[in-house]
Amino acid sequence: MYGVDLFEEVIKYAARATEITANNPHDVIHAHDWMTAQAAINARSVSNKPFILHIHSTEIERTAGSPHPIIFNYEKDGMLKADKIIAVSERTKEIISDSYGIDRNKIEVVHNSVDDCSTNLDSNTIPENVSPSVLFLARLAPSKGADYLLRAGQKVIQVMPDVKFIFIGKGSMKDELVDLSRELGIEDNVIFPGFLNHEQVDMAYKRASLFVMPSISEPFGITALEAIRNGTPVLMSKQSGAGEVVRNVLKVDFWDTDEMANKIMAVIKHKTLASELRKNSINELQRLNWEQQTEKIIQIYHTL
């Protein structure tokens, strides 16, 4: 998954941290994920300031339970040595505690948010003549569960042959997914547009009947919030952290492709369901903002 270069870069960065720390006065060391953990450990040995490790995703989750041993060790070492760990969801907190053996009292949860929650709902008007579409947006990696969505898609298409499935993103699984869509006989309904820019992504959200995040394991899943901001109903796996902050979404076990298909069809079929989900999830989202979350992090700084 990662080239040798990446590890070299991580080691170089960690070495530089010592020097940077010595020359720049500071009060806390706030590092993000495994790549900066060693740098933070070095920094702390110089300044002896409190060290916070902010975990956005764990190797356990990224690899669906088969972690790269070196990365896992970097992560675990950072977690053990940090004075405080911030996890992006309760779900991630559980994993840090269960899979890395870290004391739960050391872990605080601060959920993610989205920029600009003010959305003009009227802007999301899907033209009547466009065929319904289901949107996926993530790295095409095993932990993101795109293959489960394809399998559910096959069941949907058997009943609703005009539904399109759009998979935005790049990744190691691309070829495998293309093959699978052929194998399932649904290649005409499936589109892989690759990587899109911000505007194109927003447009894709707005055009979609439903956004699906079928992750096998998702620390948070900020794209779900972006979909809501764009007025798109969301179906996410029960294994996603974002479900802790937005309740007005549909949820399904990632492996339950029958139920996934059932829910996709329900949203496409029942306009009332789509509009209630849209309305209620936007209301929820508007109660979230980054300022609030930043305030929580500052509070954590003060406890150290």
The contact set with another protein (CB under 8 A) reads 155, 158-159, 247-248, 250-251, 258-259, 261-263, 265-266, 269-270, 272-273, 275-277, 280
What span, in angstroms and rounded, lies between the C-alpha atoms of 265 and 153?
10
Count of CB atoms within 10 A of residue 21's CB?
20
* Least separation in angstroms between CB 266 and another protein: 4
* Least separation in angstroms between CB 249 and another protein: 8
* Least separation in angstroms between CB 248 and another protein: 7
* Least separation in angstroms between CB 250 and another protein: 6
Residue 212: which H helix or E strand, with range?
strand 210-213
Sheet holding 133-137, edge to edge: 190-194, 164-168, 133-137, 210-213, 234-237, 250-252
Q: What are the distances in angstroms from CA 32 to CA 53, 141, 212, 245? A: 6, 21, 27, 21
Of the pair 130, 159, the CB lying nearest another protein is at: 159
* Least separation in angstroms between CB 130 and another protein: 22
What stretches of the chain show up as alpha helix (H) in DSSP?
Answer: 4-23, 37-47, 59-62, 69-81, 90-100, 146-159, 174-183, 198-207, 222-229, 257-269, 271-286, 290-303
Name the nearest CA neighbour of 38 among 67, 17, 60, 20: 17
Residue that the structure tokens 């949860």 belong to? 109
200-209 as b/e, with b when 16 or more CB fall inside 10 Å? ebeebbbbbb
* Least separation in angstroms between CB 263 and another protein: 6
- Tell me the torsion sign for CA atoms 130, 134, 135, 140: negative
Of the pair 63, 248, the CB lying nearest another protein is at: 248
Count of CB atoms within 10 A of residue 15's CB?
12
27 phi and psi, to 5 degrees? -110, -30
Of the pair 26, 270, the CB lying nearest another protein is at: 270
Of the pair 88, 261, the CB lying nearest another protein is at: 261
Of the pair 37, 277, the CB lying nearest another protein is at: 277
Tokens (6 digits) for 14: 């960690």
Of the pair 12, 270, the CB lying nearest another protein is at: 270
Of the pair 57, 154, the CB lying nearest another protein is at: 154
* Least separation in angstroms between CB 227 and another protein: 16
